[in-house]
Structure 1
Amino acid sequence: MRIAIVGASGRIGREVVDVLKNQGHDVVAITRSSGVDVYTGQGLERALTGVEVVVDAVNAATTDTEAVTEFFGTVAGNVQRAAASAGVRRIVLVSIIGIDAFTAGHYAGKLAHERAYLAGPVPVRILRAAQFHEFTEMMLDWTTRGDTAYVPEVRTQLVAARTVAEYLADLAVDESGAERLEIAGPEALNLAAATAKLASRRGAPARVTEVSDPATPDHRLQAEGALLPGPGAIRTGPTFDAWLDQHYPAAR
Structure 2
Amino acid sequence: MSITKFAVAGATGRLGRHVVDVLAERGHQVVPMSRATGVDIITGEGLAEALTGVEVIIDVASWHASDQEAATEFFRTSARNLHEAGQKAGVARIAMASIIGVDKATAGFVAAKKVHEELLLSGPLPARILRAAQFHEFVGQLLDWQQGDVAYVPALPTQLVACRTVAETLVDLALDPEAPAPGRPIPEIAGPRKETMSEAAQLLGARRGIKVVGVDGSGMPDAEIAANGGFLPSPHAKLAGPSFQEWLDTQP
Amino acid at match of 2:85: A
Residues 161-187 of structure 1: CA distance to partner in whole angstroms, max 9, x if unpaired? Answer: 100000111112221264731010111
- Superposition deviation, residue 214 in structure 1: 3.6
**Sequence identity, in percent?**
51
TM-score, scaled to structure 2: 0.93
Aligned partner of 1:23 in structure 2 is 26
Aligned partner of 1:185 in structure 2 is 191
State the distance in 1 between where 2:217 and 2:134 align: 20
Q: Map 1:70-89 to 2 at 5 A.
A: 70-89=73-92
Conserved? CA contact 1:171–1:177, under 8 Å: no
Distance 1:247 1:213, change over 3 A: closer
Distance 1:155 1:177, change over 3 A: farther
Instruction: Classify the secondary structure of the residue corresponding to 1:136.
Output: helix
Counterpart selection for 1:237 from 228, 241, 250: 241
State the distance in 2 between where 1:40 and 1:209 align: 42
Amino acid at match of 2:6: I
Counterpart selection for 1:164 from 156, 163, 166: 166
Conserved? CA contact 1:15–1:165, under 8 Å: yes
Per mean C-alpha deviation after superposition, the further-off stretch among 85-94 and 166-175 is 166-175
Q: Map 1:130-145 to 2 at 5 A.
A: 130-142=133-145, 144-145=146-147
Instruction: Classify the secondary structure of the residue corresponding to 1:183.
Output: strand
- Superposition deviation, residue 245 in structure 1: 1.4
State the distance in 1 between where 2:225 and 2:159 align: 14
- Superposition deviation, residue 215 in structure 1: 3.8
Instruction: Report how many aligned residue pairs link the two structures.
Output: 245
Gaps of 5+ in 1: none
Aligned partner of 1:102 in structure 2 is 105
State the distance in 1 between where 2:154 and 2:68 align: 18
State the distance in 2 between where 1:137 and 1:60 align: 18
State the distance in 1 between where 2:79 and 2:234 align: 26
Instruction: Classify the secondary structure of the residue corresponding to 1:100.
Output: helix
Aligned partner of 2:155 in structure 1 is 153
Per mean C-alpha deviation after superposition, the further-off stretch among 237-246 and 15-24 is 237-246
Conserved? CA contact 1:157–1:189, under 8 Å: yes
Counterpart selection for 1:111 from 111, 114, 122: 114
Per mean C-alpha deviation after superposition, the further-off stretch among 217-226 and 51-60 is 217-226
Per mean C-alpha deviation after superposition, the further-off stretch among 133-142 and 91-100 is 133-142
Amino acid at match of 2:202: A
Distance 1:246 1:214, change over 3 A: closer
Distance 1:116 1:155, change over 3 A: same
State the distance in 1 between where 2:191 and 2:217 align: 27
Conserved? CA contact 1:94–1:128, under 8 Å: yes
TM-score, scaled to structure 1: 0.93
Instruction: Classify the secondary structure of the residue corresponding to 1:167.
Output: helix
Amino acid at match of 1:230: S
Aligned partner of 1:66 in structure 2 is 69
Instruction: Classify the secondary structure of the residue corresponding to 2:189.
Output: strand
Conserved? CA contact 2:156–2:216, under 8 Å: no
State the distance in 2 between where 1:17 and 1:147 align: 36
- Superposition deviation, residue 216 in structure 1: 3.5
Residues 145-201 of structure 1: CA distance to partner in whole angstroms, max 9, x if unpaired? Answer: 321111123211011110000011111222126473101011111000111101112
- Superposition deviation, residue 211 in structure 1: 2.4
Aligned partner of 2:37 in structure 1 is 34
